[in-house]
Amino acid sequence: MKRVFISCDMASVALGADAVARAFVGAGCEVVRTGSRGLFSIEPLVEIETEAGRIGYGPVAPCEVEAVLDGTHRNYIGAVDEHRFFAAQKRFTFARCGIVDPLSLADYAAHRGWIGLDTARAAEPQAVVDAIRASGLRGRGGAGFPTGIKWQTVLDAPCRTKYIVCNADEGDSGTFADRMLMEGDPFCLIEGMAIAAHAVGASRGFIYIRSEYPFGIDAMRAAIELSADRVAPFELEVRVGAGAYVCGEETALLDSIEGRRGQVRAKPPLPALAGLFGKPTVINNVLSLAAVPFILSEGAQAYADVGFGRSRGTMPVQLAGNVKHGGLFEVGFGITLGELVNDIGGGTASGRPVRAVQVGGPLGAYFPPSMFDLPFDYEAFTAAGGLIGHAGITIFDDSVDMAQMARFAMEFCAAESCGKCTPCRIGSTRGVEIVDRIIAARESEPARPTANNGVLGKALYSRAPDRIDVSPSAQTTLLRDLCDTMKYGSLCALGGFTPYPVLSALDHFPEDFGAPAPALEAAE
């Protein structure tokens, strides 16, 4: 009987993997459902076990079982490990994803699972924290804060009750690494959390997963039950979000677990000292915690040896949007944006030229192809007026209207603001109105020379609509001023980072805002 591997990842299922799997079962094969390998242009991917390793075909339709089994299928890939998309990666965190049965403890143990936990438990908590510090691991949720320092703070906090919280509220569009890991290798996350618990002296953990990830929720719950004895006395529980993007902000997430509105807390106190239920809490992203088993099992140095500048280790980059070969590509920091978009991603799916890429989700900046030599590195992106965030790269072709994308950023912020601070709650709505005025002016009188800011009895903003100077240049000035207020006056990253997509769109694509390309940077 032939052994066949087919992914049960939500993305693969959305592309029809379930029907393909049923067809192979019907043909008498033993079908093993794995996570996804991470390249969606070849999904549904079917891998046949042979003496020469796993041979892949994809995409495969349910009616093509015969062609795959007799080896004549037109989408023959060959040895999947040698496919250039996979061979070029450095899979530390996603080493098992797509290869093992996600809920098989035997598979997990056979692929170097639990070695990290056993190593950690044989050592003193301080030694584990030291290893994480030495690895250079930084928070993969977006902020890039050194994980070891966070853990040290919790370890040093004098309290008997401490918690480990995993932030799996992966709300950013263009990101799906957390989801893929939870569906494809859930024990890895559990092991990482158990190591964190040992390192800081916690006995209970929570995984907060967004409700939009039903497959991930099921996989994590099943994996927690299966591994309960292995990680005991550490206890884990899944908590399900309820559709609020802002709960991805760590303090809003804590409030949500506590059963409250997911509103952002003012810091200090840091969650590391007064977090969940007021107790010292390690709160880390899925990818940060999932990187931990590797660091313990292979050594901190093996992790730190890879990387660029102060960004050490690997980043699971996600290529999304209008991309030809989209998916998950784990690689050491330092690779350039252009290599990722063009060489790995293969440009756009539509075949049209790339016009913009947004890095880091709805709060990340838009970059034009002229900036594609930017290396993937926390500091380099900050210096370029953007952020890496959760390393999602959303690609747009030349049909994109950047003013509409700037409007969407403000609209999204207005819809998802928790309402606690004014710059975010009110500023986002005013931002939508301003971009609407720019779009209206751009369309009615594109090249009108502007009567500037407040001249001719006009004001930048007024309660009397006919007194507002609606020229693009005046409104652009107002938009920049508003972004400044949001950036420096908001309580958290939602209001504080929404200006990134807006300002980067203004800076790099002024022609979409009624300003002549390339010059005239509004009234700065």
Question: Two tokens at 331?
Answer: 């690689």
Cα(first)–Cα(last) distance of the chain, in Å? 71
What are the residue ranges of helices labelled H in 285-401?
286-298, 300-304, 337-338, 378-383
User: What's the closest the beta carbon of residue 501 comes to another protein, in angstroms?
Assistant: 9
Nearer residue to another protein within complex by CB, 129 or 317: 317
Nearer residue to another protein within complex by CB, 107 or 397: 397
Nearer residue to another protein within complex by CB, 84 or 310: 84
Nearer residue to another protein within complex by CB, 155 or 405: 405
User: What's the closest the beta carbon of residue 484 comes to another protein, in angstroms?
Assistant: 23
Nearer residue to another protein within complex by CB, 52 or 242: 242
CB atoms within 10 A of CB 110: 11
- What one-letter code names the amino acid at 262? G
Torsion on CA atoms 256, 259, 261, 266, rounded to nearest 10:
-60
Q: Give the whole-angstrom CA distance, residue 60 versus residue 56.
A: 10
- 486, 498 contact by CB (below 8 A): yes
User: What's the closest the beta carbon of residue 211 comes to another protein, in angstroms?
Assistant: 5
User: What's the closest the beta carbon of residue 13 comes to another protein, in angstroms?
Assistant: 6
Question: Two tokens at 366?
Answer: 């838009």
User: What's the closest the beta carbon of residue 260 comes to another protein, in angstroms?
Assistant: 7
User: What's the closest the beta carbon of residue 242 comes to another protein, in angstroms?
Assistant: 4
- 482, 430 contact by CB (below 8 A): yes
Q: Give the whole-angstrom CA distance, residue 27 versus residue 50.
A: 17
Binding site for another protein (CB under 8 A): 10-11, 13-15, 40-41, 43, 170-176, 178-179, 211-214, 239-245, 256-263, 277, 318-323, 326-327, 349, 358, 362, 392, 394-397, 400, 405, 408, 412, 416, 418
Name the helix (H) or strand (E) containing 105.
Answer: helix 105-110
Q: Give the whole-angstrom CA distance, residue 448 versus residue 265.
A: 46
Nearer residue to another protein within complex by CB, 39 or 137: 39
3-state SS record for 115-181: HHHHHHHCCCHHHHHHHHHHHCCECCCCCCCEHHHHHHHHHHCCCCCCEEEEEECCCCCCCCHHHHH
Nearer residue to another protein within complex by CB, 16 or 53: 16
User: What's the closest the beta carbon of residue 11 comes to another protein, in angstroms?
Assistant: 5
User: What's the closest the beta carbon of residue 108 comes to another protein, in angstroms?
Assistant: 23
Nearer residue to another protein within complex by CB, 114 or 213: 213
